[in-house]
């Protein structure tokens, strides 16, 4: 079993409607279990507790509840590890459940511009450093 720490930042990107931009930051801590031992490459199972926030920037309209929405969550997935000491290629596919679910609405329009899904599919690709 090993400790897993991670962070992701998605800078504000334009939504389908050009009046809105969405951005998100997320940190996580968890544990991974490697049932294959020292196989190279290997597939590892991981679970994480996550904490993040999503922000919507609105142009020319008034949001009902301005500011970022803070959320927690749980995720589980499989991590592919291909070591090249002291580095490793990491590819992870996971499902994340945000708690609480949240949405962003705009005053006077009756529009909800974003609602968090019940389950998020996540694909992460990265480079790790350390003992793999």
pLDDT tens, residue by residue, 101-119: 777 777 777 777 778 888 9
Which residues contact residue 12 at a Cβ distance below 8 angstroms, ignoring those fewer than 6 apart? 21, 22, 23, 55, 57
Integer Cα distance of 28 and 85 in angstroms = 24
Tokens linked to 132: 């793999």
Integer Cα distance of 114 and 49 in angstroms = 23
Picking from 76, 75, 71, the residue whose alpha carbon sits closest to that of residue 116 is: 71
pLDDT tens, position by position, 13-36: 777 777 788 888 999 999 988 887
Tokens linked to 36: 């294959």
Domain ranges of the chain: 2-129
pLDDT tens, position by position, 24-69: 899 999 998 888 776 678 888 999 999 999 888 777 766 666 678 8
């Amino acid at each position: 079993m090993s400790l897993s720490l991670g962070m992701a930042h998605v800078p504000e990107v334009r939504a389908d409607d050009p009046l809105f931009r969405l951005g998100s930051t997320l940190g996580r801590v968890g544990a991974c279990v490697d049932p294959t031992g020292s196989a190279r490459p290997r597939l590892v199972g991981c679970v994480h507790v996550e904490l993040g926030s999503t922000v919507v920037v609105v142009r020319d309209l008034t949001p009902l509840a301005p500011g970022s929405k803070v959320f927690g969550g749980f995720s589980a997935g499989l991590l592919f590890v291909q070591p090249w000491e002291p580095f490793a290629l990491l590819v992870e596919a996971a499902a994340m459940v945000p708690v609480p679910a949240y949405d962003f609405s705009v005053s006077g329009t009756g529009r909800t511009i974003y609602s968090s899904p019940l389950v998020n599919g996540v694909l992460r690709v990265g480079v790790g450093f350390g003992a793999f």
